Amino acid sequence: MTDQEHLAIRRARAEDIDFIMSVERQPGYEERVGAFDAKAHARKLEAAGCSYFIAVQAGKPVGFAVLRQNDDSMGVVNLNRIAVHPEERGVGTRFVRCIANEVFASLDNDRLWLDVLPSNLNARHIYTKVGFVEEGLMRSALRYPDGRRQDLILMSLLRSDWESASRKTQGDAI
């Protein structure tokens, strides 16, 4: 794998907020991902149960993700937001895989879930490719600032599915 292809993730820091906001403000992203102001990101970055990650390729940030987890000992993590800068197309699958690796590195976590707009076919394809399963439709689950409502598709990846897929991928590489 060349350095250009290598993708890593790291915990986000306060100085990453400008990059995160630049991704959120790309055309069409606010409808699909949402957008916060700098103060809201700073609060969430420090909040218990909320973890921000930055995808880095060739030494520069290319995307961000936000994971949320309740302190209820259920081992369930929500991939609350994930977005890649549009100039960095082609890293989405690797980024989602890195996030799944991060989540399942903790033996306490057994389920990673997300919701996605039915119209976001690219994201749904990536999630399915990584191993997420569509579990159902959440009717009118999203409310936009203007009051419109939108359905969301619920998807999840279980530790057992992730481990099985990882073993298969390693076997294919041998």
Q: Where are the domains of the chain?
A: 7-173
Average pLDDT along the chain: 89
| 148 torsion bin: left (phi>0), alpha (psi -120 to 50), beta (else) | beta
Return the percentage of the chain with pLDDT > 70, whole number: 93
Helix (H) or strand (E) holding 33: none
First CA to last CA across the chain, in angstroms?
A: 15
Nearest-10 Cα torsion for 134, 138, 144, 146: 140
Give the tens place of pLDDT for each residue, 7-46. Answer: 999 999 999 999 999 998 888 777 777 788 899 999 999 9
CA angle 134, 137, 139 (to 5 degrees): 160
- Residue 165 is predicted with a pLDDT of 80
- Indicate the pTM of the whole model: 0.89
- The CATH classification of domain 7-173, taken from the options 3.40.630.30, 3.10.20.340, 1.20.1050.10, 3.30.565.10: 3.40.630.30
